[in-house]
Amino acid sequence: MSFLRVSKKAKKIGAIIILLAVFCFANGSQQFSRLAWDSLAFKKSIWSETYEYAWEDIEKVVFREVPLDKGTSKFDFHFKDGNVLTLSNNLEVQAWRKLIEKKLNDDGIEYKRG
């Protein structure tokens, strides 16, 4: 019942905040990155298309190493069409890091640490 006694301005602001939160959750749930032996795929947001590339479409990969106390290291996959996929070097990616580096080396893809 106390909700009904709140001013119209407060109700409008509350509704906007709730809608913004729902949008953020929806947008975050639609972003993804997928690594496979034959391709990489990712989607940047709700409204963007899904990009899928073969490993041969990678121009170069840059590993940006960051000290543990300053954040998370990242892989930047630069594709021949100018698109870039950034993957955080989280626990899941760390488990596959040696295999990713081996795949890049076997396919002759430029790999730099930056």
Task: Read off the pLDDT of residues 38-88 as tens digits, 9 standing for 90 and up.
Answer: 888 888 877 878 889 998 999 999 998 888 788 888 889 999 999 898 888
- Cα distance between residue 77 and residue 83, in whole Å: 8
DSSP state of 68: G
| Residue 3 reports pLDDT greater than 70 | no
Q: What is the pTM of this model?
A: 0.71
Q: If you average pLDDT over residues 2-16, what whole number do you get?
A: 82
Displacement of CA 67 from its chain's centroid (Å): 20
Higher pLDDT pick, 34 / 63:
63
The HSE-up count of residue 67 (CA atoms within 13 Å, CB side) is: 2
Name the pLDDT band for 19 (thresholds 50, 70, 90): very high
Tell me what pLDDT residue 4 has: 67
Contact criterion met (CB below 8 Å) for 35 and 42: no
